[in-house]
Amino acid sequence: MKKAEQGFSLLELITVMILLGILSVTLFSRLGPVSTAAVQSGRDDIIAALFFAQQTAMMRSSGGNIELQLTTHSVSVTENGQPIRVAADYYPLALPQGVNATPATFVFDKLGRTTANTITLTGSGNTAGTSAVIQVEASGYAYAN
């Protein structure tokens, strides 16, 4: 008896390829442009540094000597003017290439409070046209708009 050949027909393979193409176009179009990734990464780095500075100020008994300094291309958290170590690295932390921030300084008291301010990040070069806004409340709470 002759054994039936196994495998997919050409029609089945083409149908699967067309369906995968439609699914990939649909999913990737929802992710947004790649150029926003650097600005979003910079935004997240700054929010994490703000949270770290607030928590460090509340943890120290003296308080008031924890400062976050934001320059155009970096963010730094210092205690008594000295960079604080985070894991294996020290601040300042460089923002992603092509991301510029509005310079600002935040001093945290022992209750984690600081001055209210707005930080704007803008993209340049490959990330031109993208931006992000970080709102810092007087309570020290920071969030992205």
Which residues does residue 67 pair with via DSSP β-bridges, in sequence order?
78, 107
Identify the pLDDT of residue 85: 81
Identify the pLDDT of residue 6: 80
Q: SS3 for 143?
A: strand
DSSP per-residue string spanning 52-114: HHHHHHHHSSS-S-EEEEE-SSEEEEEETTEEPEETTEES-EEPPTTEEE--EEEEE-TTS--
Identify the pLDDT of residue 62: 66
Identify the pLDDT of residue 26: 83
Indicate the domain borders of the chain.
Answer: 36-144
Amino acid identity, residue 142? A
> Tokens at residue 129, please?
């046209």
Q: Where are the alpha helices (DSSP H) in 3-75?
A: 10-30, 36-59
In angstroms, what CA-CA distances link 49 with 13, 43, 45, 81, 97? 51, 10, 6, 16, 18
Q: SS3 for 12?
A: helix
* Fold observed for domain 36-144: minor pseudopilin epsh fold (3.55.40)
In tens digits, the chain (145 residues) has pLDDT values of 666 678 888 999 999 999 999 988 887 766 655 668 889 999 999 999 999 999 999 988 666 689 999 999 999 999 888 888 877 777 888 999 889 999 999 999 989 999 999 999 998 876 678 889 999 999 999 999 8
Residue (of 142, 62, 57) closest to 107 by Cα position: 57
Other Cβ atoms less than 10 A from the Cβ of 56: the count is 19
